[in-house]
Amino acid sequence: DGGITQSPKYLFRKEGQNVTLSCEQNLNHDAMYWYRQDPGQGLRLIYYSQIVNDFQKGDIAEGYSVSREKKESFPLTVTSAQKNPTAFYLCASSIVGSGETQYFGPGTRLLVL
C-alpha cells in the first residue's frame, strides 16, 4: 500500500539534545512538508521541499533543520535552539503543482523530559 510513514510515534527529548523525526513516503511525490500542531493553533508550516536537495523555510523554521537527500525521505531535526519543542509533528507529501492535495502521515508526538 502507498502511503506516508512517520517514526517514532512518541519521542522524548532531554534539554540541550537534538532529535530527528523520520518521514518516508512511497507515493512518488516530489513535494514534502513538515507541520507543527499545537492545541488550538492549527497547523503551522516548518519547512517544505519540492525537489531533492532543495527546501524552503516555512513560517516557523527557527530551531529546526531538514535535509532532502532522497525523494522518499524528508527527516526533520529539532535542535536544542528550539526552546519549546513539545508538539505534534505532521509530515505530508504531494505532487508538485498548483492546488494539489497533500497527504499526511500519522504524526510524531515530541515531549520534553
Partner 1 sequence: GNSVTQMEGPVTLSEEAFLTINCTYTATGYPSLFWYVQYPGEGLQLLLKATKADDKGSNKGFEATYRKETTSFHLEKGSVQVSDSAVYFCALSDRGSGNTPLVFGKGTRLSVIA
Residues 6 or more apart whose CB falls under 8 angstroms from that of 56 comprise 47, 48, 49, 50
**Identity of the residue, 82 or 108, whose beta carbon is nearer to partner 1 in the bound complex:** 108
Name the 3-class secondary structure at 111. Answer: strand
Among 21, 90, 93, 110, binds partner 1 (CB under 8 A): 90
State yes or no: residue 101 binds partner 1 (CB under 8 A): yes
How far apart are CB 31 and partner 1 at their closest, in Å? 6
State yes or no: residue 41 binds partner 1 (CB under 8 A): yes
Residues 6 or more apart whose CB falls under 8 angstroms from that of 15 comprise 80, 112, 113
Among 33, 55, 64, 74, binds partner 1 (CB under 8 A): 33
